[in-house]
Structure 1
Amino acid sequence: MATLQASSFLRSSCTNANSSSSSSRRRTNITAKINIPNIRTNKTSQLPMLISDQLEQFAINPIEELVLSPSRILIHDTNVDGLDPLVIEKLYVIKEAVADRVEMHKNIGEQRSQWNSMLLTSINGITLAAATMAGIAATSSGDSVLGLKMSSTIMYLAATGMLTIINTIQPSQLAEEQRNATRLFQDLYNQIETTLSIGHPSGIDVKEAMDRVLSLDKAYPLPLLGVMLEKFPSSVEPAVWWPQQRRRQTKSVNNWNGWNSKLEEEMKEIMGVLGRKDQEEYISLGKKALKLNKFLAMSGPLLTGLAAIGSMFIESDSASHGSNWAAMLGIVGGALASVVNTVEHGGQVGMVFEMYRSNAGFFEYMKESIESNLMETETERRENGEVFEMKVALKLGRSLSDLRNLASSSSSLKEEFASKLF
């Protein structure tokens, strides 16, 4: 019955429209098509909510609705305001994949942080227990000495193997990598949401989002075997997690686009400060952290290995005749190994190195973003100058006036760092 009423209403409205239009032949003919699905099911008592709402709006003034906005009465899914629904669908697919990446990196980061705490506690417990046994064996006599010596040696060898593994994979550094990946994927997720909400997405936006996802996957891999980042590189390089900067799509017909010669000079000065001060400082700190981590990573297994050798040659108190160098090596070596292990993994030196490397990468990203805009000769292809200046100021933890003051004072003898965040 509802279907018949709707059809009757539409015939009546169209008849009135034809009567009104026949009285004035000069009026432009308008053709509107209402696509109503052919309903062959038993649920004919209801029309979709979207059809009901549009029919009610059409009933208010059918002729004006046809003349002013015929696209508003399309029932099926079509282009709206020139947007390509396939592009929107692709962006939603990428958005869902990015949300999944955020959750994956977050969970794995927490897991690897727990690895660091668990292995640190376990190895220190084993090492101190082995040192205690070595000390007891050195002051004992009889048949118990051999058992204590063997137990101490086996525990030292186990600690040496575990230290070799933990020093190779650096769990604290792995956890920091996943934390960075989580933050960067979340940032990408927010950017896609913004594009879908207020932008006019195109195929270029889909391509850029895909490239960023793949670049982040390469910069912060999830597996350990085969693709794990090198933990002790020969040189310290800034982390790179973004794709190569491409020429931007034209989005504005305004040749000015918020840029002028003063803003260009300001951005050039800021780019210079980022390279001379901030990036250079964090690369230098990263080199120091890497050297310390290398020293500690080699010292731990070496000390436990020497302690294991010392434990094997421990003599009983009655046979030592006051000189038991093996016992000293077994006890002192184990104690020093526990200290080294605590400093390296308790202090999370690997995490500190990764943090410095990532910060240097952030400044490299800022420099490339500024440079890519300045090298674009067609200003309409640049990001809006006022928006870009605000973005740079926020990323560096400065106000707009503070950012301009930094650019104007960059040539002074006592140059300050560009970033106030870290």
Structure 2
Amino acid sequence: MASIRASSLTCSLISSSLGGRGKRMIRATINMPKRPNNSTVSIDFPKLKTRGLVEDLELRSGYTNGITTTQSSPKTSPRNYDTKVSDPMVVAKLYAIMEAIADRVEMHKNIGEQRNNWNSLLLTSINTITLTASMMTGMAAMSDGGAPLLALKLSSTSLFLAVTGILFVMNKIQPSQLAEEQRNAARLFKKLHEEIHTTVSISTPTLEDVKEAMDKVLALDKAYPLPLLGVMLDKFPKTVEPPRWWPEKERKQVIKGFGGRKNNNNGWDSKLEEELKEINMVLKRKDEEDYLRLGGKALKLNKALAFSGPLLTGLAAVGSSLVGTTSCGSLAVVLGIVAGALSSVVNTLEHGGQVGMVFEMYRSNAGFFRLMEESIESNLKEREVERRENGEMFEMKLALQLGRSLSELRDLATSSSIKGVANHEFASKLF
């Protein structure tokens, strides 16, 4: 805007005539209308949108205030190019499964602590009651008869009978084995939680991932049930079988090995296939078989101890009830006191030594090796290499699960493949 104040404009023109004798000056005056005093003339120019250089560069690059702006035609949307976007409903379902898994972890942890307390408290109570009843039997034998003898006999017999009933229930449910089951379940649920979290974080989950996660949760619930009545696992099975906490998978047609570089075949080649086949044989022949054998021995020992404890307390109850009779005499006293003392020793070995927990530990370790075997077989039997787990990643995970380095894992496969050489090395170095 500019203001012009003027009452007149004077222009002087000086012209000279080349051919004339003299000079002539012409003056011209242009008079403009006068405006009132203190008035201004405002000239309004159109306002232009100004933009800084940085802002202009941001717009040209497609960024404004940290938000990407792309220009696309109505027919072509940027979303059409993004084939890695996860379905929000699938992600929401996986998070719902993760919440349920976290709740199960807490439940198994709390119940496992409770059942571990059962083992220690019941063992202490049973041994205390058994020793007290044995002392009463000895005091009854030293009494002269009458009311003191009858009271001591009734008290000791009642205590022995009560201990027999408690031992029967305790040996049936095996609290130490129950606690180990809950610890294993809590650990496996935590592992499953981390697997789903990794799937959501670094990949594009699908409905197949949701179904697989659901199947794994239900398989774990079946392998390690929480209730005692109706669904409790048999603590004294006829044969030792590894627990199965993973869902069944379809058996696919066996394919032959193939050559090629790992980078072009999802990390797989014929050499890796042969190594995994040898490792699978070692797992079956050495690790799983050995832990099933040890589990069988622990089961036999636990059966013998579980049968001996109530039997001894029952014999002690019979002996204490016959104290003071002329027919049995000292034999009843010896039976009541010695059987009661031996019962305390047997109970301490069984429940204090947690033989049931040892059996469950061997059984679960055998299940761990069975899972590794089926993982190897399912990958080798997959026809399409692209649908397998990445070979290099699978080999690394297998080595970590067995407590070995990659070179040690390959050396194990090499030594196992040599014919005529007895290989006494186990695949796992952890257990």
Residues 60 and 173 (structure 1), Cα distance of their counterparts in 2 relative to 1, 3 Å cut: closer
Aligned partners of 1:255 and 1:379 also within 8 Å: no
Give the corresponding residue for 2:116.
113
- What CA distance in whole angstroms lies between the structure 2 residues aligned with 1:211 and 1:344? 36
Instruction: State the partner residue of 2:210.
Output: 206
Q: Measure the CA separation in 2 of the matches of 1:145 and 1:234.
A: 46
* 2:414 aligned residue: 408
Superposed counterparts of 1:278-357, under 5 Å: 278-315=287-324, 323-357=329-363
Q: State how 1:354-393 maps to structure 2 within 5 Å.
A: 354-393=360-399
1:65 to 69, 81, 98: 69
> Once the 2 structures are TM-superposed, how far is the Cα of residue 66 of structure 1 from its aligned partner?
2.5
Partner of 1:167: 171
Q: What is the alpha-carbon distance in structure 1 between the residues aligned to residue 392 and residue 73 of structure 2?
A: 35
Deviations 1:316-349 (CA, angstroms, capped at 9, x unpaired): 7xx689x510000000000000000000000000
CA deviation map 1:361-420 (0-9, x unaligned): 000000000000000121111100000000000000000000000100114313300000
TM-fit CA distance, 1:67: 2.2
Deviating 4+ runs (over 6 angstroms)? 68-74
Aligned partners of 1:332 and 1:151: how far apart in 2? 17
Partner of 1:100: 103
For 2:115, the aligned partner's letter is R
How far is 1:199 from its partner? Answer: 1.1
Say which SS state the counterpart of residue 67 (structure 1) adopts.
coil
Q: Which residue of 1 aligns with 2:86?
A: 83
Higher relative contact order (Cα pairs below 8 Å, separated by 6+ residues):
1
- The number of residue pairs the alignment matches comes to 356
Give the Cα separation in 1 of the matches to 2:66 and 2:194: 41
Whole-angstrom CA distance in 2 between matches of 1:208 and 1:271: 24
CA distance in 2, matches of 1:337, 1:60: 80
**What aligned pairs does 1:7-46 form with structure 2 within 5 A after superposition?**
none
Give the helix-richer structure, 1 or 2: 1
> Which stretches in structure 1 are left out of the alignment for 5+ residues?
1-11, 14-56, 249-253
Q: CA deviation at 1:141?
A: 1.1
Matching residue of 2:268 = 259
* Greater per-residue strand proportion: 2
Q: Distance in 2 between matches of 1:399 and 1:376?
A: 26
The 2-side partners of 1:205 and 1:328 are apart by: 67
- Does the CA contact (< 8 Å) of 1:105 and 1:181 recur in 2? yes
Show the 5 A alignment for 1:269-280: 269-280=278-289
Q: In 1, Cα distance between the equivalents of 2:271 and 2:264?
A: 16
TM-score by length of 2: 0.78
State which structure, 1 or 2, has the greater radius of gyration over its C-alpha atoms: 2
Between the aligned partners of 2:206 and 2:86, the Cα distance in structure 1 is 8
Shift in CA distance, 69/137, structure 1 to aligned 2, threshold 3 Å:
farther
TM-score norm. by structure 1 comes to 0.80
User: In 2, Cα distance between the equivalents of 1:164 and 1:170?
Assistant: 10
C-alpha distance in structure 2 between counterparts of 1:103 and 1:246, whole Å: 32
Instruction: Render the CA deviation track for 1:13-62: whole Å, top value 9, x for unaligned.
Output: 9xxxxxxxxxxxxxxxxxxxxxxxxxxxxxxxxxxxxxxxxxxx964599
* 8 Å Cα contact 2:115/2:176 also seen in 1: yes
Cα separation, 1, equivalents of 2:83 and 2:110: 39
Contact 2:161 2:313 in 1 (8 A): yes
* Superposed CA offset, 1:300-323 (max 9, x none): 00000000000000017xx689x5
Superposition pairs for residues 176-215 of structure 1, below 5 Å?
176-215=180-219
- Alpha-carbon contact 2:251-2:381 (below 8 Å) kept: no
Q: Report the Cα distance in structure 1 between the residues aligned to 2:103 and 2:337, rounded to whole angstroms.
A: 49
What's the secondary structure of 2:70's corresponding residue? helix
1:148 equivalent to 2:152? Answer yes
Return the alpha-carbon distance in structure 2 between the equivalents of residues 85 and 377 of structure 1: 31
Label 1:402 to 1:68 Cα distance change in 2 as closer, same or farther (>3 A): farther
Structure 2, unpaired ranges of 5+: 1-47, 50-61, 253-262
| Separation of aligned partners in 1, 2:282 and 2:201 | 35
Deviation track 1:221-254 (CA, whole Å, cap 9, x = no partner) reads 0000000000000000111110012589xxxxx8
Q: Which residue of 2 aligns with 1:132?
A: 135
* CA deviation vs aligned residue, 1:67-120 (integer Å, no higher than 9, x gap): 27999999xxxx994210000000000000000010000000000000000000
Cα offset, 1:139, TM superposition: 1.1
Letter in 2 for 1:230: D
RMSD: 2.6
Q: Is the 8 A contact 2:288 2:366 kept in 1?
A: yes
How much identity, in percent, do the aligned residues show? 65
Q: Whole-Å Cα distance in 2 between the matches of residues 72 and 131 of structure 1? A: 87
Contact 2:140–2:323 at 8 Å: present in 1 too? Answer: yes
Q: C-alpha separation between the residues in 2 aligned to 1:119 and 1:170?
A: 11
Contact 1:255-1:380 within 8 A present in 2 as well: no
Distance 1:134 1:404 in 2: 66
Aligned to 2:23: none
